[in-house]
Amino acid sequence: MLRFSALLAMFSLALGTLPACVEEEAEDGENDAFADGKADGGIDEGSPEALGVLALVNDAAMTAAKLKADAHVTARVAGNIVKHRDGADGMAGTADDDKYDSLAELDAIPYVGPTTLGALLEAARDKGLVGGTGAKISVIFSPQAAEATHNAKIASLIRGAQKTVDISIYSYSDAGISAALADATSRGVKVRFLFETASDDRKILDATAAAASKSGKLEAQGVDVRWVNKILHHKFLIVDGPRDDKSRAATAKLVTGSANWSNTGATVYDENTLFIENSPELAAAFQHEFDQLWWGSKDFVGPATAQGQSAAKITTADVPDQPGVELLLTSPNFTLGGSEHATWSVNKASLVVSDQWVAAIERAQTSIHIASGHIRLRPVAEALLAKKHDHPNVDIKVYLDQQEYISASGDAAQQAEVTACQAAATTPAAKTECLRNDFLFSKALVDAGIDVRFKSFAYRWDASYAAQMHSKYMVVDGKEIISGSFNLSMNSEQGTFENALHLTSAEYAPVYAAFEQNFAKIFETGRAQNLLTSLRSTISSAPTIPLTFPPMALTYSEFDKLRQLIRANCQVVDSTDYRNNAPAHKICPR
């Protein structure tokens, strides 16, 4: 945490000593640091205040002269800030730009310190870049150093819980969170845990092995664990929420996003995790979703005391509406039934989250930026293709994980499969079902002229070493965002419990700016360092050919030609052994 209440007091005091008609320009000592202010209070990295300051200094329209005038900082401070941001060529919007990822990076600029930050923060507030009465939303983008990860912040939130913790998660393995959960239950905090892994752990017949499973260890800590009969892909947390008291919707702390609670999700993959406070609407929505799933779940039998259902039974109708903030859920696609009221059936005509993605794409006027592990959801892909065709000037960029690459022959084969399926179908419903198959749309987007890049890190994708592009977000016109656990696939819509936060209010401009900045950064992964050129040289000349390599953002053509080069220099790369045992073959002898 960087704490700034002291510096704001210093800044205000400094202004208070001047004549009313004079406004001194802010500047600090050459090596002054924000962290020198240690008074109580302050703001976190990633908070609305921090995002507002970063949005201000990262704005390409904020020239040194404008920054000096608007923020009332010295010409030296403004010049230093802009020089770092715009890179060696001194031009904004070029490949060597180095926008500020954190307040710590801004702190390192000469003559930027407590007083300067106060001036920048006031300017950000004046421009509406700092959130007001709406939800307080901050974001952590992975990968991060261990101490700055979403896992570390989640553990801290759990340690601060006073009454209840409700968790719905696909994958979890972080030791710090485990310790925080043990601490919470030891203090009498009630913890419920909906866990995808529990659906497998409950099949373990040996009692000792079951107790040693992830679910068994949670139960031993006093955590009540349950599972559902559909895939549970959520990654959300409710701390001191309105489980048993509706009034706690106003003070609940929430976490959601794309990242699982694992080391790879925190320090290797491209992810985003949102931290939310001051949102009764979202607290009610997440609590209601958890309560529905808890009602429709089954117990992982263990030593923890069963906690039963929520007493408050809250819905969003119980709290005031917050404009511009909405929780999208796939659960409306499902109906709970069965003899034990724990079987979920799907309505295949319902596409509640997909419809919102499509509507946002259709609203786009200037830009659509998507970072997604997958692009296999036909309605979304077709909406992008239609937008590109009808409005070619809209800036559409899509950043995908490498596993979404499909060769020309593979693309032709999957199209032929759909054609054959529809030819054999005898009913309209059967023809529609053919379009629900797992279809990779990346090449179709490329062929339509959409700017697509792949996070590329290996000749052959394998989960054991994949440095995945695992975010699932879209920013539209720089003023609307959809982000959460929802993958762009039909399975996510109709086979999986998912969520996505949808923001449309101008109040969340700092959040939009943070996502746009993240997208600009990851879309250029490895390109300024010329990693592709270096790799191609190694493949062409070195005695050992790397089949895994540092991540880089490559176009379809670049990745396709790279694969061709590897095949030309490694004759066995497509052999049965290399295909079936990719983890054992990360290099290839020439």
Task: From residue 51, give the alpha-carbon distance in Å to each of 44, 276, 504.
Answer: 10, 14, 17
Q: Are 319 and 286 in contact (CB under 8 A)?
A: no
| Residue given tokens 């449309």 in the structure block | 504
Q: Are 502 and 326 in contact (CB under 8 A)?
A: yes
> CB within 8 A of 35, min separation 6: which ones?
2, 3, 107
- Identify the CA nearest to 225 among candidates 254, 258, 196: 196
Predicted confidence at residue 2, as pLDDT, reads 41
Q: Are strands 253-257 and 343-346 parallel, antiparallel or unpaired?
A: unpaired
Predicted confidence at residue 43, as pLDDT, reads 55
Encode burial over 196-210: b for 16+ CB neighbours within 10 A, e otherwise: bbbbebbeeeeeeeb
The Cα 455–Cα 260 span in angstroms is 19
- Identify the CA nearest to 184 among candidates 234, 245, 240, 255: 240
Predicted confidence at residue 367, as pLDDT, reads 98
The Cα 554–Cα 559 span in angstroms is 6
The token pair that represents 236 in the structure block: 């959300």
Taken in order of first residue, the domains within the chain and their CATH numbers are 5-126 (no CATH), 136-320 (3.30.870.10), 323-405+440-590 (3.30.870.10)
pLDDT in tens for each of the 590 residues of the chain?
343 333 333 333 333 333 333 457 989 888 877 654 322 234 567 777 888 888 899 998 999 999 999 999 999 999 999 999 999 999 988 888 899 988 889 989 999 988 888 889 889 888 878 766 689 999 999 999 999 999 999 999 999 999 999 999 999 999 999 999 999 999 999 999 999 999 999 999 999 999 999 999 999 999 999 999 999 999 999 999 999 999 999 999 999 999 999 999 999 999 999 999 999 999 999 999 999 999 999 999 999 999 999 999 999 999 989 999 999 999 999 999 876 767 899 999 999 999 999 999 999 999 999 999 999 999 999 999 999 999 999 999 999 999 999 999 999 999 999 999 999 999 999 999 999 888 999 999 999 999 999 999 999 999 999 999 999 999 999 999 999 999 999 999 999 999 999 999 988 999 999 999 999 999 999 999 999 999 999 999 999 999 999 999 999 999 999 999 999 999 999 999 999 999 999 999 98
